[in-house]
A and B are shown apart, each in its own frame.
Chain A
Amino acid sequence: MRYWIRSVVVIASGGLFLGQSSAEPLAGYNTYGYPGLIDMPSALSRPDAELAFTSSYFKNQSRNTITFQILPRLSGSFRYSNINNFRREGGELFDRSFSLQYRFIDENPNSWRPAVAVGLNDFLGTGIYSSEYIVATKTLGHGVRVTGGLGWGRLAGVGGFDNPLGFIDQRFETRPDIDVGQGGTVDTSQFFRGDAAFFGGVEWQATDKLAFTLEYSSDDYPYEDGSAFERKSPYNIGVSYQYRPGITLGAHYLYGSEFGVQATFATNPKSPRGGPGADRAPMPVLPRRSAESLGWSVESVGEDRVETNIRNALAQSGLTLHGFSASGRSVRVEVENATYPNMAQVVGRTARALTNSVPTGVDTFTIVPVVKGLAGAAVTLNRGDLEELEYNYDNSWSSFARASFESDTGPLTPIAARYPLFDWQLRPYLSPSLFDPDDPVRVDVGLELAAQYQPAPGFEIRGAVRKKLAGNLDESTRESTSVLEKVRSDFNIYEREGDPAITELVAAYYFKPGDDLYGRVTAGYLEPMFGGISTELLWKPVDSQFALGAELNYVKQRDFDQLFGFRDYEVATGHVSGYWDMGNGFHGQVDVGRYLAGDWGTTLTLDREFKNGWKVGAFATFTDVSFDDFGEGSFDKGLRFEIPISTVTGQPNTEKLSYTMRPVQRDGGARLNVSDRLYETVRELHTPQLNDGWGRFWK
């Protein structure tokens, strides 16, 4: 018998999901990684939600940019540049900058009306790329489109003339010098000020994959011309080639003197490589008329035997039975998941397993997913509906509509075999460190040994120890210049001395103190840099888009070697948090409280969340620490990404790749990194998230 080749399935099904199918015209990415021509902007956007990494290089200058199409009209970019022989600061410069572009008029293909966009560059950093623009792009046909715009700041370096906005207010005519201070603050006093200049270009999409661009650049490279390179002409020409869907390569001849290259890697969280997933087929629903061997009632078969049958059927489905109870014609099953990316699929596979294991007189299944001894929604399904809807074209929504979702109020009824439980894992880890000017990318790889012991529902003792195998995180010698308590900025000493390191060793208790309430107490070595006690209470009704939480911690700073000792600093830290799932793909969070360095303030977080679990977000923290005391960057901020591994591989998996990227790590606005905070733990058990993932119920 020949076997199906699974890897082929994944590649074949995944490959096609990379493609874009969009009727609207799309911009390319320019050397700054935002939508544009070669060095100049254009008015078009990229497909909604596209996440792209662009790397460009020409003489003495490299730019590495992450751009996210936040909304169909709005894109945001974060850039890390390296310039050699930069005149203003002298020598080699590493610089971080942000860009925003907003398309406020759409092109009308049936009239003269072009797309028009406005943009801001480097409004939050040291301002070396500081510029603003308004730009229009019009498609002429035969793959040709033209772009023209008006630039300010750096984009008014060539052919500048008096600011036309001077008609509105004379103050627009001069661009004030900026006081960059520690960087990181938005300086609106420069916006659209000073001379303005025209820029523009022509693009020709010669074939599906090949495009040529000619542009006139109004950037005179004031700090680079004559030192980093010779700027001899305002004209640039470029060619770009789509090597594969999502990968674009470019080459340019720039400013009459230099060749440049660029590459863009783009992906879209809406259509990741794994597609809908090449999960192995689930157990078919077994109709009651073919299931006489399962017996008629739980009483007649015996609860123990039914429990064993359910356990076996769940085990074959990659799931674990946590609790079981039966009454009359219904059963209630608590289930734990270590296999599937979302709880809707867990409920679906459990339901299928129950049709294969529960006596035929039982016609109602109540399925309660359990995580860390906590239950959220209890999903009640009618056995007849499963038999009827399995092959229905609209089975997903039909089954969602017929299911009932309630808050699980009852105490858990764990089966005898569930507790106590001991488990351990040995796995590789990778720990990167970005943006150190001495070496912008450092990384350690090693092995992590983790173990958990669960004596009773909600109780857990767990720990993890890491042993580095290779890497260069310990090469960082830059000493902290912080005037605050060094709660985070000594991170490189921890990396140097913690080998091996106990990254976590705690006892934790998770419980439900009342209706819609969840509680957590964690004590021990909470994270690499702090130990102590952490307590949390969360209010989150099962069908609610809102949640409120409070966290109170008393912690002491750990020794650099990350073994059992402590340093002198101790602090009470905690927050009140509000969470709001806005229902339109955006999620907001506000935390107000006291941070690790004893500073008081607020963290604002906004994420775009996709129903397959991808998240792209940004956060900023403002505390009573002054921008000067905070140091470089002025306040804590960053971007965060979360990618479920299953969406990339197409294979079922509960792991997520999470990464929080800070331009710089300082001590102000720093929070404790305790694991298993309640909101994210509980959220996947609740109705809104079950609803979002319900497509997988029948997968």
Chain B
Amino acid sequence: MMRPVLAIALTTFLSSCAQLAGLVGGGQTILIEPDVSEAILVSVPALRAQGYAVPSARVGSVTTWRTADSATFSFDRGVIVSTRGLGDDLMGADVRQSIAASTGGAGDWAPRINGYMNGEYQSYFMTFQCRRSATQSEQVVLGDRTVAATRITETCVNDERQIENIYWRNGNGVMVKSRQWVSSNVGYMETERVIR
């Protein structure tokens, strides 16, 4: 008598589908005209996603970049402080230490705090101790150009994991390339300045 079993499972499955048929997308467009002369190429290997993003807002030293299908990445002087549209988003962050480290500040251990939201919609935080662990000069290939940059590695640890963020800044201090950790499920993202 497996029939009731299968039928119950099927009913459960179908009832989900019936509801799914009514799905509405949260489609949105950008209000502000982006400054299209600037762009970055962002990729998140864990999500198999990649795309160009253009600036859509600036608040203080934070610039928010938006992809064509509405994922956003916000950087404070090149250091990621917030993402949206990725699922396990970085909701906000205190990155004063990372900014200091990535601009060649002192190499001491200092705290970094990342804010997240769980599946019950409650905030939680991940704190790290971070420090600049390596600095070297490097030639970076961006598209068909080669740019002189300083490569800075920042190592962050807590009781659960160790992450390594890598920042490449050019002579003017502009972040031209980076690899930065976002969250448990998003993992690392990579950015590259698009030079035209």
Contact = CB atoms under 8 A, between A and B. Distances in A.
Identify the 5 closest CB pairs spanning chains A and B, nearest first. A13-B87, A284-B57, A281-B84, A441-B7, A281-B72
Given A275-B119, A285-B57, A653-B23, A391 B82 contact: yes
Given A12-B185, A13-B88, A611-B121, A391 B81 contact: yes
Interface string A264-282: 0100011110111111111
A655 B27 contact: no
A277 B84 contact: no
Interface residues of A, number: 95
Interface stretch (B48-56, B131-139, B142-150, B173-181): B48-56
A695 B4 CA distance: 41
A338 interface: yes
Contact of B87 (A269, A270, A278, A611): A278
A440 interface: yes
A233 to B, nearest CB: 24
B91 A427 contact: no
Given A282-B28, A391-B93, 9 more contacts: A2-B50, A5-B47, A5-B49, A13-B88, A17-B185, A275-B119, A276-B119, A281-B66, A393-B113
A449 interface: no
B121 A612 contact: yes
10 contacts: A2-B52, A62-B2, A278-B86, A280-B26, A281-B28, A284-B64, A394-B123, A396-B123, A441-B7, A655-B23
Contacts of A653: 22-24
Nearest to B88: A13
Contacts of A237: none
A9 B87 contact: yes
A567 interface: no
Interface in A560-591: none
A332 to B, nearest CB: 22
Interface string B54-66: 0011111010101
A14 interface: yes
A652 interface: yes
A647 interface: yes
Contacts of B15: 430, 432, 657, 659
A316 interface: yes
A78 to B, nearest CB: 12
Interface string A388-400: 0111111111000
B59 A390 contact: yes
Contacts of A547: none
B109 to A, nearest CB: 18
A647 B87 CA distance: 11
Of the four ranges (under 10, 10 to 19, 20 to 34, 35 or more), the interface on chain B belongs to 35 or more
A55 B69 contact: no
Nearest to B29: A316
A469 to B, nearest CB: 12
A55 B26 contact: no
A318 B28 contact: yes
B85 A394 contact: no
A518 interface: no
A208 to B, nearest CB: 19
Contact of B72 (A13, A53, A284, A317): A284
Contacts of A611: 120-122
A326 interface: no
A540 interface: no
A647 B117 CA distance: 13
Contacts of B5: 55, 57, 62, 64
Contacts of A396: 91, 115, 117, 123
Contacts of B1: 57, 60-62, 82, 84
Contacts of A270: 118-120
Nearest to A57: B2
Given A278-B85, A313-B31, A13 B185 contact: yes
A279 B18 contact: no
B88 A280 contact: no
B29 A12 contact: no
B195 interface: no
Interface centre among B17, B26, B57, B62 (most CB of A within 10 A): B26
B113 A3 contact: no
Interface centre among B24, B46, B51 (most CB of A within 10 A): B24
B185 A16 contact: yes
Interface string B1-38: 11011011111101111111111111111111000000
Nearest to A693: B121
Nearest to B58: A290
Please classify the interface of chain B as helix (H, G, I), strand (E, B), loop, or mixed, using the class held by over half of its residues: mixed
A443 B14 CA distance: 10
A4 B115 contact: no
A428 interface: yes
A445 interface: yes
Nearest to A94: B4
Contacts of B14: 430, 443, 445
B168 interface: no
B74 interface: yes
A543 interface: no
B11 A280 contact: no
B11 A271 contact: no
A511 interface: no
A282 B71 CA distance: 9
B192 to A, nearest CB: 14
Contacts of A317: 28
A666 interface: no
A391 B185 contact: no
Contacts of B68: 1, 3-4
Interface in A393-447: 393-397, 425, 427-430, 432, 434, 440-441, 443, 445
A699 B93 contact: no
A696 interface: yes
A621 to B, nearest CB: 25
A645 interface: yes
A283 B60 CA distance: 17
Contact of A391 (B50, B92, B113): B92
Contacts of A286: 31-32, 57
A655 B7 CA distance: 24
A393 B57 contact: no
A137 interface: no
B12 A53 contact: yes
Contacts of B29: 316
A276 B12 contact: no
B93 A393 contact: yes
A359 B65 CA distance: 24
Interface string A180-193: 00000000000000
A12 B48 CA distance: 9
